Every structure is written in structure tokens, then in C-alpha cells.
Amino acid sequence: MDTATKNTALMAIATALRVRGAEILSANERDLDAGREAGIGEALLDRLRLNEPRIEGMAHAVQSVVALPDPVGEVIDGYRLPNGLDVRKVRVPLGVVAVVYEARPNVTTDAAALCLKSGNAIVLRGSATAAHSNAVLCAIAAEAAVGAGLPDGAVNIVAGGGHEELAELATQKDSVDLIIPRGGEGLKAALEEVATVPVIYAASGNCHVYVDETADLADAERIVMNAKVQRPGVCNAAETLLVHENVAAEFVPRIVQALLDAGVEVRGDERTRTLAKESRGALGGATEEDWGTEYLAMTLAVKVVFSVQEAIEHIGRYGSGHSEAIVTRDTASMRAFQLGVDAACVYVNASTRFTDGGEFGMGAEIGNSTQKLHVRGPIGLRELCTFKYLVEGDGHVRA
């Protein structure tokens, strides 16, 4: 499809989301009621919840993709060989992309917009938790896209069937070119067992903030609070705070009290609990399990470390390769952290909450890949493409 037709379809989807907001909210309320009855917890309910501002945000995200350059046909490289052959490396769609995701209904429209703009058909497979919301959103997107000139079937949804259906989808090598799971380690493990279709994992985020001995402590407090509290149920929220021992006596009591006041459950190592003993509130002890846990809730593990190298080693052992941050004013510490931490996104003096395709100027994202091939970091338009070589000659034959 040409760029103009794809953009028209995306604008139609954005308009339909706004016009049919009441229908979307009604379906979402059914999912929220079911979630409350199932006791899924407030953090997951927040991921599931839609309201008028969030629907407007979804529509705006779709519109923002319209403004982005169409990646299809982009010439990545081009040259003429000594024998006269002209070689161009051009970007092309992957084909049919299946997106498997949990809880968050906005993924439905984000994923659809990105796949359609990058020339791919999409198969959506959301969780049972958001079944009503996803069904309505997919129907709205499909109707608007087809009405604007895209082929019937460019946007599809499959629902129900549990792990058996997931296994069936993950083995459709003849009709699905890529699966992108967006969810926790359980979803990742379920696909790893059965998938024969290529998979890009947008999985868990056990993210850290390290406060170095040279950190501006006011900046550090703002960054830690934002990374943990602003939206704790998402994969780029911080789950562990590491503090250099040389600032721990001053910073630990201060940040622990701020976290407790904000309603965060703090679990600290022995040194953290000793330093925070005057804090107004109970401070739990951190176990080995805590260091490797993605809470997705108002819980944070805290540890005092002796050096930037110890922080790097801790992250290397327990991190998930998602997003890691250092707060420092020392160039050597900054550089050591940037080079030593193996993650998709490494921040200096900034919150991990910025790991997002929209924040990175990509319009939206399907997820954040924590693997290295073929995509790492936010999965946007270019990441939903592959490439091919176009070679032009004039009767050339190989000697």
C-alpha cells in the first residue's frame, strides 16, 4: 500500500477511537469488574483501566505515527560494484506480525498503527483480562482501516483457548512471520517451550537506579521517586535502588522516608535498614529473591554498594536487560556504567520511565525488546521491517 492510503487509515482509526469512546469505556468497565472480582490487584487494574484521557492518548499515539516517515522502501545502503552491478539495500515489511500481550488495552491500537504503517498485517492476541476492551478496540481499528482502503483482514484478533491456542499461533510458520510477546516471564516461558515462528521478546523489566557517590541528591530523589512511583505497574519502573556507601548515610534515610510517605513498601539489605531505622514506618528485609523480582507494584528493594563496579555487577547478575540508570556528576563513573551495563537502555541522570517508543520520538511502540537480535529497545516502525537487496545489471553474468 502507498503511504497516503496507510496514513488515511491511521487517521480514520484515531477519529473512530474518539467518536466511539463511550463504547470503549463500557467494554472496559466489564473487564475492570471481572478483574476486581478476580482480585488481580490495583497495579494490574491500573494497567487495564481506560478513561477519556487515556483514550485520547491512544488516538494521539495513532496520529503521531502518521507524522513519522514511512520506512517501507527506504534505501539503507547503495553502491556500484567494480563490475558495474548496482546494489541497493532497501527496507521491506516483515509480512504478518502476531502480537501477544497482557492487560494493557492501549497495546491493541499502538500495535495496529505501527504494523499498518510499516506495511504489515497484524494478528492481535490479548489476555482474557482485557477481552472485552480488546475486542471492541480491534473491531474499531479494523473497520476504520478497511473503510479507508486497507485490505480486509489487515487487522485481526484471536481470543480464548488458553495455552493451547497460544501454542497453535506460535507454530503457524506458513502464515505468521513474527511473534512479539509483550508480558511477563510466564508468557515468555510459555512461548519458548513451543514457538517455531521467530519471536522478539518484549518481556520483563527488572530495572535499577544507582545513586553514585557524586550524585546530586536532590536530582537523585526526584529520579528515584519518578522511576518507582509515577506508574509502578509498567516494565520501565524501577524495582531496585542501589546507593553508594559514601552518600548512603545522608541519602538512604531521606529516600526511604519519601518512599514510605508515598506508600511504597521498602525492602532493604542490612545496611539500608540500619541507616533507615529512624524512618517512620516498617522496613522489611530484602532477600535473594527480591533482587531478581519485577514487582510491578509499590514495592522497592534497596541495597548499599561500595562502588560503581559493584553496582554494575549487581545489575549484571539480577537485571533483565531492560532499562538501567545512574545518577552521578562524575564522568568516569558515568562512562563505566554506560560501558559496563548490558541493557537495551542505559540512562545517566534520568529516570528509567523514559523507555518508551513515544518518548523516543517513535510515535508508539509494541514493546521494549530485551534481546539483541534482530531488535533491541523500543519496537517501532523500522524494527517491524526487514530488508532485501535489489541488484540491477545490464546483461551481467558471473565468470
Tens digits of per-residue pLDDT, 296-354? 999 999 999 999 999 999 999 999 999 999 999 999 999 999 999 999 999 999 999 99
For residue 162, what pLDDT band results from cuts at 50, 70 and 90?
confident
Res 179: pLDDT: 95
| DSSP-assigned states of every residue in 74-127 | -EEEEEE-TTS-EEEEEEEE-SEEEEEE-S-THHHHHHHHHHHHTT-EEEEE--
φ, ψ (nearest 5 deg) of residue 308: -65, -35
φ, ψ (nearest 5 deg) of residue 100: -110, 125
Asked if 117 and 148 count as a contact pair (C-beta separation under 8 A), the reply is no
Q: Which three cell numbers stand for residue 169?
A: 499461533
Structural domains for the chain: 3-202+366-391 (3.40.605.10), 207-354 (3.40.309.10)
Q: Which whole number is the average pLDDT over 36-46?
A: 88
Tens digits of per-residue pLDDT, 277-290? 877 777 899 999 99
CA distances from residue 381 to 144, 191, 284 in whole angstroms, order as listed: 20, 24, 43
